[in-house]
């Protein structure tokens, strides 16, 4: 039975613990043993936290035996992206610039999860300082895509995704500034939830661009995403029962189809046809304001990111992966006037966008318009790296720019995803829609 635990959803594991069929300590030991034995463990986990995991699991086991569980996920083991602070354990955000950085307290979202009895398996690898959608990191490690070991897994939450996809965690917690939860989820056939900016605490999370940074789960099911959202903010999980696509109004954002390659396009259209067959009503439109917003990505994201990390980068620039370093430095070309004006324009575009899509239950598009690139080619070809990184993030960035919540679901074709974008702070509604979509896409 223990091998089956490695592929079960978090919800099913929690129900198994509640029914007395799964012991939390045995469950955590099974995951820790799988991590030790896995050929890619060192490319997925930066630092397993075995002693913490075993102590937390033992406590969960006692609670389960006495009938005093803290919640459905009490005793379920998950992984944490290496930008969430862990007391007494290094948190380095995939960068040699932060080597040896040991926080004294957990990040707020980790404290919330621990208070609900979740078990911390360890810290996962990521793109350096979270500033790439590809997941390529020659400074620490590059996690392989579950569908192609020579390809990157997507970033920046690369290890968070692969820890789940390879059966080395029941769920993973990542962050999403421009697509960092949704891209690796799509490329590794997982569910990824990008929360609305401001919904979940960033206290104790190493920043990239705080105006856009968000926390989100990468997991096997929409139910798991809903359960983890609730745990991370210390609230009750939304009720997903009875969710239906019948007469759901969806808008296909054709901006996200421009230039999409054959496989992601095929996966998206396959998924969309199933949603329509299940009763969804679909319209298609291209919104010029979306392209206007995308054109401002450079000034908005890179300026804030470089302002955040300028001193550390320029003190020891040679410690960084060159592609990521130069992407940060691109933020230095913009003036304060240009940055403020871009934000003013974006706020106006957001109002226009949400007015234009207000009549729809969700905006849908391919999660990423490209497939996972081969790691060796990214390392050898600068122009290819820059081009693929921009393409990887093109669609997901729309959700961050518009301040939306977003959900990526597997389409049924390997390494392709369909993304649903919802209104700000409407995660519960989006998750219900996602649960209905998941049922017809399975």
Query: Annotated catalytic sites, by residue?
Result: 81, 156, 180
Structure tokens at 267: 């996966």
Residue 156, preceding peptide bond in cis (omega within 30° of 0): yes
Per the listing, tokens 């862990």 go with 86
Q: Could you give the angle at the alpha carbon of 268 between the alpha carbons of 190 and 198, nearest 5°?
A: 55
Residue 421 contacts residue 399 (beta carbons within 8 Å):
yes
Residue 46 · residue 35 · CB < 8 Å: no
Query: CA-CA-CA-CA torsion for 229, 231, 236, 238, nearest 10 degrees?
Result: 30
Contact assessment for residue 31 and residue 76, using Cβ atoms and an 8 Å cutoff: no
- Locate all alpha helices (DSSP H) within 46-141, ordered by sequence: 50-66, 108-115
DSSP 35-73: HHH-TTHHHHEEEE-HHHHHHHHHHHHHHHHHT--SSTT
Q: Is residue 14 within 8 Å of 63, Cβ to Cβ?
A: no
Are the beta carbons of 126 and 155 closer than 8 angstroms? yes
Cβ–Cβ < 8 Å for 239, 230 = no
The CA distance from 248 to 362, in Å, is 9
Nearest CA among 180, 160, 169, 228 for reference residue 200: 228
Compute the distance between CA of residue 143 and CA of residue 150 in angstroms, rounded to an integer: 10
DSSP-derived secondary structure letter, 172: E
Q: Which residue in 3, 7, 24 sits closest to 15, CA to CA? A: 24
347 exposure class (CB count in 10 Å sphere: 0-12, 13-18, 19+): exposed
CB contact burial 82-111 (16+ within 10 A = b; e otherwise): bbbbbeebbbbbbbebbeeeebeebbbbbb
């Amino acid at each position: 039975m223990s091998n089956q635990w490695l592929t079960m959803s978090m919800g099913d594991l929690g129900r198994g613990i509640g029914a007395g069929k799964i012991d939390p300590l045995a469950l955590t030991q099974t995951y820790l043993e799988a991590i030790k034995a896995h050929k890619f463990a060192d490319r997925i986990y930066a630092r397993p936290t075995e002693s913490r995991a075993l102590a937390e699991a033992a406590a969960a086991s006692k609670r389960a035996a006495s009938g005093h569980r803290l919640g459905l996920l009490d005793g379920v083991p998950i992984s944490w992206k290496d930008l969430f602070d862990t007391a007494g354990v290094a948190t380095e955000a995939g960068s040699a610039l932060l080597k040896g950085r040991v926080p004294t307290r957990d990040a707020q979202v980790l404290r919330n999860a621990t208070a609900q009895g979740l078990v911390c398996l360890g810290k996962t690898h990521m793109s350096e300082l979270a500033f790439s959608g590809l997941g390529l990191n020659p400074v620490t490690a590059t996690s392989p895509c579950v569908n192609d070991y020579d390809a990157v897994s997507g970033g920046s939450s690369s290890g968070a995704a692969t820890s789940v996809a390879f059966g080395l965690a029941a769920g993973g917690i990542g962050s999403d500034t421009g697509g960092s939860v949704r891209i690796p989820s799509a490329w590794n056939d997982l569910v990824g939830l990008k929360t609305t900016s401001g919904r979940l605490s960033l206290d104790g999370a190493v920043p990239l661009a705080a105006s856009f940074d968000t926390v989100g789960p990468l997991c096997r099911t929409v139910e798991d995403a809903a359960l983890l959202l609730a745990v991370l903010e210390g609230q009750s999980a939304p009720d997903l029962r009875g969710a239906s696509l019948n007469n759901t109004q969806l808008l296909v954002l054709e901006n996200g189809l421009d230039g999409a390659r054959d496989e992601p396009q095929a996966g998206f259209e396959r998924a969309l046809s199933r949603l329509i067959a299940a009763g969804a009503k679909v319209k298609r439109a291209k919104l010029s304001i979306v392209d206007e917003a995308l054109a401002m990505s450079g000034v908005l994201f890179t300026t804030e990111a470089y302002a955040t990390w300028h001193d550390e980068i320029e003190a020891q620039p040679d410690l960084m992966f060159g592609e990521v370093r130069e992407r940060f430095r691109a933020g230095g070309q913009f003036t304060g006037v240009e940055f403020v004006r871009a934000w003013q324009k974006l706020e106006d575009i957001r109002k226009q966008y949400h007015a234009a899509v207000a009549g729809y239950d969700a905006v849908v598009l391919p999660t990423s318009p490209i497939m996972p690139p081969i790691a060796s080619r990214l390392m050898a070809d600068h122009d290819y790296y820059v081009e693929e990184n921009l393409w990887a993030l093109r669609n997901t960035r729309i959700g961050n720019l518009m301040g939306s919540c977003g959900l990526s679901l597997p389409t049924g074709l390997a390494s392709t995803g369909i993304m649903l974008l919802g209104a700000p702070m409407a995660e519960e509604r989006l998750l219900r829609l996602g649960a209905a979509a998941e049922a017809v896409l399975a």
